[in-house]
Amino acid sequence: MANEGSAKVTDDREAYVIQPLPSKGGFLCLLFYNAILHMHSDYLYTCHAWFNDYTRSFHSLEPKLEKNIDLKLRHTARVCDNISRIAKSLHLGQEELALAEVLALLHDVGRFEQLKDYGSFDDRITTDHAALGLNVLSRAGILCSLPKNERRLVRRAIWLHNKYEIPETVSPRCLLFSRMIRDADKLDILGLIVEHFETRSKNPNPALDFGLENCPGHSHEAILDILEGRMVKIATLKNLNDMRLMYLSWVFDIYFPVTLYCIEERGYLKKLMASLPQDCEIVEAVDFIMDYLNRRGRIFI
Ligand SMILES: [Fe+2]
């Protein structure tokens, strides 16, 4: 049986356990524990102040750039909301919730330099925006006031937020936070992309098209990835249909039931599916995704 001070995450796929308070020397330990609690919520406040100050300098009079700076600011705010919803679904404590929000706030901080320097979100032709973000955070020293373990956790989860997969070697706690940020991020990007595809003819945004053409056809490799239950790799994208297939395939990486519920509730997959041509291979891939969702307990789209 767990110690009284411990709090186990209820999702039984997680081995993550919040460390219990020591039973002796309780008062001093409690003071220390409370200091950490307050530090996290105060630290979140400090991070917001730094983030607002840092990103203010990127606003531009150039409308296309300003539109995408604003897009990333709004994305960051929604990813904070998403991660909070995910963390609450796992019944994480206040300090873990605050740390998750710090992670969400900082996860895409590299996007601002990327946009300013390259005018693109495409990591393939610019620089990995997670690496850019970690450089920004190192220069700013904003993570220095965190305990070493927390600092390493935040840095590692930022690095992993945009990678194809999480290595098996990460610690259970890093795995938890990496999964949370990846889910929170993908949930918002799916909404953003669905809106983009619905409005791109009237309101084009080349930064979201990654230089791909909206032409007929699709890549066979994208279909194969889906039929193997894998995310479509960005390197295989040849046109916007491939990109639509890639975003659909993100469901294979979604981990938490609450994220899947939100994706479904907002109709993102249905809208993406409707925007694809009804070609035999695509129908087969879409059927595979539907079967996968059914196996995960999804009851409607
Ligand atoms: Fe990102």
Tell whether 4 is covered by a domain. no
Query: Quick one: 170 and 252 in the same domain?
Result: no
Strand partners, 213: 239
Tell whether 287 is covered by a domain. yes
Tell whether 203 is covered by a domain. no
Query: Quick one: 152 and 251 in the same domain?
Result: no
Query: Quick one: 283 and 227 in the same domain?
Result: yes
CA 270 / ligand 1 centre spacing (Å): 24
The answer on pLDDT for 29 being more than 60 is no
Six token digits for residue 256:
């938490």
CA 33 / ligand 1 centre spacing (Å): 32
Query: Quick one: 53 and 177 in the same domain?
Result: yes
CA 282 / ligand 1 centre spacing (Å): 28
pLDDT tens string 207-238? 888 889 989 999 999 999 999 999 999 999 99
How confident is the model at residue 4, as a pLDDT? 31
Query: Quick one: 71 and 140 in the same domain?
Result: yes
Query: Quick one: 266 and 133 in the same domain?
Result: no
Tell whether 96 is covered by a domain. yes
CA 161 / ligand 1 centre spacing (Å): 6
pLDDT band for position 36 (50/70/90)?
Answer: low
User: Domains in the chain: how many in total?
Assistant: 2
User: Cα separation of 177 and 98, whole Å?
Assistant: 12
CA 107 / ligand 1 centre spacing (Å): 6
How confident is the model at residue 124, as a pLDDT? 86
Q: Domain span at residue 151?
A: 29-188
CA 130 / ligand 1 centre spacing (Å): 7
CA 297 / ligand 1 centre spacing (Å): 28
Contacts 24+ apart (CB under 8 A), 30-39: 36/95, 36/147, 37/94, 37/95, 39/145
CA 215 / ligand 1 centre spacing (Å): 27
Query: Quick one: 38 and 158 in the same domain?
Result: yes
pLDDT tens string 95-122? 999 999 999 999 999 999 999 999 888 8
Tell whether 279 is covered by a domain. yes
CA 31 / ligand 1 centre spacing (Å): 36
